[in-house]
Amino acid sequence: MKKVLVGMSGGVDSSVSAIILKNQGFDVYGATMKLWDDVNSTDAKKVCDKIGIPHYILDFEEQFKNCVIKNFIEEYKKSRTPNPCIQCNKHLKFGIMYEKAKQLGIDYIATGHYAKIEYSDKYKKYVLKKSKNIAKDQSYVLYTIPKNMLQYILFPLEDFDSKEKIRKIAFENNLLVADKPDSQDICFIPDGDYKQFLEKNSDIKLKEGNVIFKGEIIGKHKGLYKYTVGQRKGIGISHETPLYVIGFNKEKNELIVGEEKDLYVKNFKVKNYNLLLIDEIKEPIKVSVKTRYKSLEHAAIISMDNDLINVEFLEPQKGVTSGQSAVFYIDDIVLGGGIIV
């Protein structure tokens, strides 16, 4: 009997994932990662007890602070907008949790992500694909998985096209988490106030500076860390046309604003990339690109530029933000992705 370690947050998705795997004949073990202060593992343990599987708490708090929190703070110091979920997936869920599973002699790890992994006859390898439930698809935040790990990862929810069907399984198994709402916020900032988090947990302090529009000073900002590219609300300056954050001058502590048309870009570059479908980009490839988790995909050509990937949209697009990830797709398969420079 194959063994699988299921990452369990206490939510309905990971809970149902464990049930599905047990029903498929796996020897299932539940694991909750202790990441930030309170582990909040009560619900996960209750689910494991209910379905009759062991439950473990994996204390990864120090690694989480070093790999995720530190990156989050450092990126904001550089006026970049990070995605901590991607860093957590890279270093913890599909990093040290996988290593822990191997140490325990467990064959697979599984999570409640909405995505699909399968062997492709066309590409002669395991590939990461979009979920059948496109509205919930999380392939965007999974591009950092090492390609040699794909065959050892299970996504039990891969073929579900609605959340209602998953909750139905939870109700049928009398799970207390069956109607538990989905988590919406960054796990270590449950109230969503990332500005207050930065002020309390780093040496970032409010430092006012000039707001620049077309080279002219038009007002004052309240600290660069409080703004992100594309932001319209909260700039605090009335103008005859709507103003958006379009960039930063860190050296001069200036917030650069412009009109909506100034947000559109044709080219950008990506660093720290991970390629899943191919080993290297030898010649330009046409792909569709997603530059934020909730954004639409847009057609582009990717090519190598020294140690960076150059991305050229077929038509200019907005929503390209330094620190976020750009993920490349060919049809419904993840080719790879990286951090926007």
298 and 310 both lie in a single domain: yes
Which one-letter DSSP state was computed for residue 330?
E
Query: Is 187 buried (19+), middle (13-18) or exposed (0-12) by CB count in 10 A?
Result: middle
301 and 236 both lie in a single domain: no
* Domain CATH for 84: 3.40.50.620
54 and 162 both lie in a single domain: yes
Strands of 244-249's sheet in order across? 216-221, 209-213, 254-258, 244-249
pLDDT score for 37: 65
Look-up of token digits 């599905």:
20
39 and 80 both lie in a single domain: yes
98 and 233 both lie in a single domain: no
3-state SS assignment for residue 92: helix
The answer to whether 158 and 151 have CB atoms below 8 angstroms apart is: no
Q: At what angle do helices 42-51 and 12-23 cross, to 10 degrees?
A: 20
pLDDT score for 38: 58
Integer angstrom CA distances of residue 336 from 86, 212, 280, 320, 339: 13, 36, 10, 17, 11
User: What's the distance, CA 140 to chain centroid?
Assistant: 7
Q: Answer whether residue 82 is part of any domain.
A: yes
325 beta partners: 339
> What would the two tokens of residue 335 be?
């080719």
313 and 221 both lie in a single domain: no
User: What's the distance, CA 282 to chain centroid?
Assistant: 27
32 beta partners: 57
Q: Answer whether residue 117 is part of any domain.
A: no
pLDDT score for 244: 97
280 and 256 both lie in a single domain: no
Q: Mention every residue, 6+ apart, whose C-beta is less than 8 A from residue 226.
A: 195, 234
187 a catalytic residue: yes
272 and 319 both lie in a single domain: yes
16 and 57 both lie in a single domain: yes
85 a catalytic residue: no
Q: Answer whether residue 147 is part of any domain.
A: no
The answer to whether 41 and 30 have CB atoms below 8 angstroms apart is: no
Residue 220, domain extent: 206-262
- From the list 48, 67, 85, 88, the catalytic residue is 88
34 and 161 both lie in a single domain: yes
pLDDT score for 39: 54
256 and 282 both lie in a single domain: no
pLDDT score for 333: 98
Please state the length of the chain: 341
Number of H helices, E strands in the chain: 8, 17
Q: Answer whether residue 121 is part of any domain.
A: no
The answer to whether 76 and 52 have CB atoms below 8 angstroms apart is: no
Q: Which of 185, 93, 225 is nearest to 146 (CA)?
A: 93
Average pLDDT of adjacent 10-residue blocks, the chain of 341 residues:
96 97 98 79 93 96 96 96 96 96 97 98 97 94 97 96 95 93 84 93 94 97 95 92 96 97 98 97 98 96 97 96 97 98 96
